[in-house]
Amino acid sequence: DTEVTQTPKHLVMGMTNKKSLKCEQHMGHRAMYWYKQKAKKPPELMFVYSYEKLSINESVPSRFSPECPNSSLLNLHLHALQPEDSALYLCASSQDGQGFHEQFFGPGTRLTVL
Amino acid sequence: GEDVEQSLFLSVREGDSSVINCTYTDSSSTYLYWYKQEPGAGLQLLTYIFSNMDMKQDQRLTVLLNKKDKHLSLRIADTQTGDSAIYFCAESKGAGNMLTFGGGTRLMVKP
């Protein structure tokens, strides 16, 4: 199984809503990532988890709150988002450690904030 | 400026070769990658090259790396309509696996 799954595929939310994005992998990967991709732009790294601990936060606003409840799951909790947060949110996973480790990407959640 | 740059668009005819170019600024990049993204989908790793290599070939794909000029290219032989997508080059450096992506090149393949 080399698949990273993400739910939901699409999400529309208001600025006062609280919602969560979910990501799951069963490849035994111990590094998991959240990326944000705006239209016609490259993915931008938001967070990296290594062995279920947050290792990198790329100065992401606190209205985005990541959580890694176990080695297979990664969540992104959303609260009080702005319309400019509308984007494709991609999850990825990889082996951890030095050297080359392919990042496997999920299909993404397309988020629209009204 | 951006760490990794690509041209925005490339159009080729089916059966021709496509060459997508990328330049990067950081000479300490360890690995360089080519990812493919189809509409509405995530990213798929096509190939990668270690920074001490000059060339890597994998079936229809050939990657060339010029470290002196910090230039990376991806050649797709016998381009097919299914190759139409956005192609991102990316780099990673040092410990860990953080990727920095270029802006992406949209490849359009005409029948």
pLDDT one-digit tens code per residue, B43-83: 999 999 988 899 999 999 999 999 999 999 999 999 999 99
CB contact under 8 A, B43 and A41: no
Confidence of residue A1 (pLDDT cuts 50, 70, 90): low
Nearest 5°: the CA angle B87, A92, A110 is 75
Q: Does the beta-carbon distance from A105 to B103 stay under 8 Å?
A: no
**A14 phi-psi bin (left φ>0, alpha ψ -120 to 50, beta other):** beta
Provide, for chain A, the percentages of residues in helix, strand and coil under a 3-state DSSP scheme, each rounded to the nearest 5.
5, 55, 40
Q: Does the pLDDT at position B22 exceed 70?
A: yes
Chain B, nearest residue to A33 by Cα: B98
Contact B102/B55 with Cβ under 8 angstroms? no
Instruction: Give the model confidence (pLDDT) of A39-69 as tens digits.
Output: 889 999 999 999 999 998 889 999 999 999 9
Residues of chain A contacting residue B41, judged by C-beta atoms under 8 Å apart: 107-108
Band the pLDDT of B96: cuts 50, 70, 90: low
Residue A85 near residue A39 (C-beta atoms within 8 A): no
What pLDDT score does B94 carry?
Answer: 59
Q: Do A48 and B98 touch (CB under 8 A)?
A: yes
CB contact set of A59 (below 8 Å; sequence gap of 6+) = none
To the nearest whole Å, the CA of B69 is away from the closest chain A CA by: 23
Option in A55, A100, A108 nearest B42 (CB): A108
Of A1-15, A29-43, B35-49, B92-106, minimum mean pLDDT range: B92-106
What residues of B are in contact with residue A57 (Cβ under 8 Å)?
Answer: none
**In Å, what is the CA distance from A2 to each residue of A53, A93, B61?**
22, 10, 22
CA dist., res. B77 & res. B56, Å (int)? 14
